[in-house]
Amino acid sequence: MTTSFRRLFAGILLFVTEFALILAIGTAGVVIFLLLGRQVLGDGQLDFDEGAFTWSHWFLGDANRHWVDFITFLASRNFIIVAALAVIGYFLVLRKHRWYSLKVPVVALGSITLNLLLKQFYNRPRPMLPLTSASGLSFPSGHAMISASFYGLLIYLTWQHVTNKSLRWLLTVLLTALILMIGLTRVYLRVHYASDVLAGFAAGVLWLLVAIPLLNRMERLIKQRARGAKSNTMLPTE
């Protein structure tokens, strides 16, 4: 009885902790995005945006365009499509997990679609004097939003499938650093304001917090119905 009680208590504690963490992250994401969005819809200027351009060049240096361009390319639509197809193939062919292969395109394509809708709503022009070519609107940053959702999904999958604790934490740190660096390169190249990047991160994380639980719920419901249908077909007939 004591062992069962301890397991029950540990399960409840884990659920409450995860729920509180997700609630805190989701609330922070909503608050950050709404505050930034309200300012953009107002006068369109945020005090830290101009300072962020200067700081990003101080932090990354002025002679690092070769790897800055490479880092920012890792969140481009062309690369994300190829990377998503690779992850889908991995779960279809090697891991034989069709539901994980479904989560990848839903998260990636959903993030891209939502970003385009948000850009049209806020209609913020890009910064003046960009260091590289960029088209379309500025708020929220598509690269930041897509990187937060796609590489955030990879972090989720890492915690689901990588059993080695050290490797799991290493991959998590590397993927998190990549997300942050992608956002920083967008400011460095002056194709986005820092507020665009922060809003993109917030929207990408919020999309993950919505999409993953919904897909997990759908997976459980469909599997339950499939097991129910299978058990019904096995019942003896009169």
CB 134, CB 69: distance < 8 Å? no
pLDDT value of residue 229: 60
List all residues 6 or more positions away from 41 whose beta carbon is below 8 Å from its beta carbon.
122
**189 DSSP assignment:** T
pLDDT value of residue 201: 93
pLDDT value of residue 108: 82
pTM of the model: 0.82
CA distance 110 to 105: 8
pLDDT value of residue 223: 67
Give pLDDT tens digits along the chain (238 positions).
Answer: 566 666 666 667 655 676 576 667 777 777 787 888 888 877 666 778 888 888 988 888 877 778 888 999 998 888 888 888 888 888 777 766 666 677 788 888 888 888 999 999 988 888 887 778 788 888 999 899 999 999 999 998 888 888 898 999 999 999 999 999 999 999 999 999 999 999 999 999 989 888 888 877 877 777 676 666 655 555 555 4
Domain ranges of the chain: 14-220
Burial class of residue 35 in the structure, from the number of CB atoms within 10 Å of its CB (0-12 exposed, 13-18 middle, 19+ buried): middle
As a dihedral over the C-alpha atoms of residue 170, residue 86, residue 80, residue 31, rounded to 10 degrees, the angle is -50
Nearest to 144 by CA among 198, 103, 108: 198
